[in-house]
A and B are shown apart, each in its own frame.
Chain A
Amino acid sequence: MTATLLFVQTLNGLQFGLILFLIAAGLTLVFGVMDFINLAHGVQYMVGAYLVAAFSVWTGSFGWALLLALPSALGFGLLLEVLVFRHLYDRDHLDQVLATFGVILFLNQAVKFVWGAAPLSVPVPDLLSGSVEIASGLLYPVYRLAIIAAGLIVAALLYVLVNHTRIGMLVRAGASNAAMVSALGVNIQRLFMIVFGFGAMLAGFAGAMVAPILSVEPGMGDNILILAFVVIVIGGIGSIRGAFLAALLIGLVDTVGRSFAPNLLRLFLDPAAASQTGRAIAPMLIYIFMAAVLFFRPSGLFPVKR
Chain B
Amino acid sequence: MTELADTASAPAPSLSTRFEVVPIVLFAAFAAAPLFATYSGAEGYVLSLLTRVMIFGIAAMALDLILGYGALVSFGHAAFLGIGGYAVGILATHGIEDALIQIPVALVASALFALVTGAISLRTKGVYFIMITLAFGQMLYFLATSLAAYGGDDGMTLSSRSLVAGSRILKSDFAFYWMCLICLLGAYAFSRSVVASRFGRVLRGTRENAIRMEAIGFQPFRFQLAAYVISGMMAGLAGCLLANQAEFVSPAFMTWQRSGELIFMVVLGGLGSLHGAIIGAAAFLLLEEFLPEILHGVSFFLAEETRAHLAENWKMVFGPLLILIVLFVRGGIMGLLRRPRHG
Contact = CB atoms under 8 A, between A and B. Distances in A.
B197 interface: no
A184 B130 CA distance: 32
B123 A298 contact: yes
B326 interface: yes
Contacts of A282: 146
A210 to B, nearest CB: 20
Contact of A105 (B117, B267, B309, B319): B319
B75 A105 contact: no
Interface string B122-141: 01111110111011101100
Interface stretch (A109-117, A149-157, A174-182, A263-271): A109-117
Interface stretch (B211-219, B226-234, B256-264): B256-264
B142 A98 contact: no
B26 interface: no
Contact of B316 (A93, A110, A295): A110
Interface in B122-173: 123-128, 130-132, 134-136, 138-139, 142-143, 145-148
A295 B120 contact: yes
Contact of B264 (A84, A101, A294): A101
A278 to B, nearest CB: 9
Nearest to A112: B313
Q: Which of A31, A108, A280, A299 has the most CB of B within 10 A?
A: A280
B136 A276 contact: no
Contact of A93 (B127, B135, B145, B320): B127
Contact of A230 (B125, B135, B143, B263): B135
B132 A97 contact: no
A241 interface: no
B267 A98 contact: yes
Interface of A: 31, 37, 39, 84, 87-88, 91, 93-95, 97-99, 101-110, 112-113, 222, 226, 229-230, 233, 237, 276, 279-280, 282-284, 287-288, 290-291, 294-295, 298-300
A229 B134 contact: yes
Contact of B132 (A107, A110, A237, A294): A294
The main secondary structure of chain A at its interface with chain B is helix
Contacts of B319: 102-107, 109
27 contacts: A31-B127, A39-B260, A88-B327, A98-B326, A99-B322, A99-B327, A106-B316, A222-B257, A226-B134, A229-B134, A229-B135, A230-B131, A233-B128, A237-B127, A280-B147, A282-B146, A284-B139, A287-B135, A287-B139, A287-B142, A290-B132, A291-B120, A291-B136, A294-B120, A294-B124, A298-B123, A298-B125
B302 interface: no
Nearest to A37: B127
A300 B264 CA distance: 28
Given A106-B315, A233-B132, A298-B124, A97 B73 contact: yes
Contacts of A87: 327
A93 B148 contact: no
Nearest to A287: B139
Contacts, number: 128
B142 A283 contact: yes
Given A102-B321, A298-B124, A97 B130 contact: yes
Interface in B281-322: 309, 313, 315-316, 318-322
B132 to A, nearest CB: 6
Contact of A280 (B120, B126, B146): B146
B327 A97 contact: no
A102 B143 CA distance: 27
A93 to B, nearest CB: 6
Contacts of A106: 315-316, 318-320, 323
Given A95-B326, A97-B260, A229-B135, 4 more contacts: A93-B73, A94-B73, A112-B313, A226-B135
A298 B123 CA distance: 7
Nearest to A298: B124
Interface string B313-343: 1011011111100110000000000000000
Contacts of A294: 120, 123-124, 128, 132
Nearest to B323: A102
Contacts of A230: 131, 135
A305 to B, nearest CB: 16
Contacts of A97: 73, 75, 130, 260, 263
Interface residues of B, number: 43
A170 to B, nearest CB: 22
A51 B247 CA distance: 41
Nearest to B260: A101
Contact of B126 (A93, A99, A107, A226): A93
Contacts of A298: 123-125, 128
B273 to A, nearest CB: 16
Interface string B242-269: 0000000000000011001001100100
A187 B195 CA distance: 45
A94 B128 contact: no
Contacts of B126: 93
Contacts of B73: 93-94, 97
A101 B322 contact: yes
Nearest to A233: B131
Contacts of B136: 287, 291
Contact of A295 (B123, B148, B320): B123
A109 B127 CA distance: 27
Contacts of B131: 229-230, 233
A291 B132 contact: yes
A288 B313 CA distance: 37
Contact of B146 (A107, A109, A279, A295): A279
A165 B117 CA distance: 42
Q: Which of B130, B132, B136, B326 has the most CB of A within 10 A?
A: B326
Nearest to B315: A109
Given A97-B73, A294-B120, A280 B316 contact: no
A216 B119 CA distance: 39
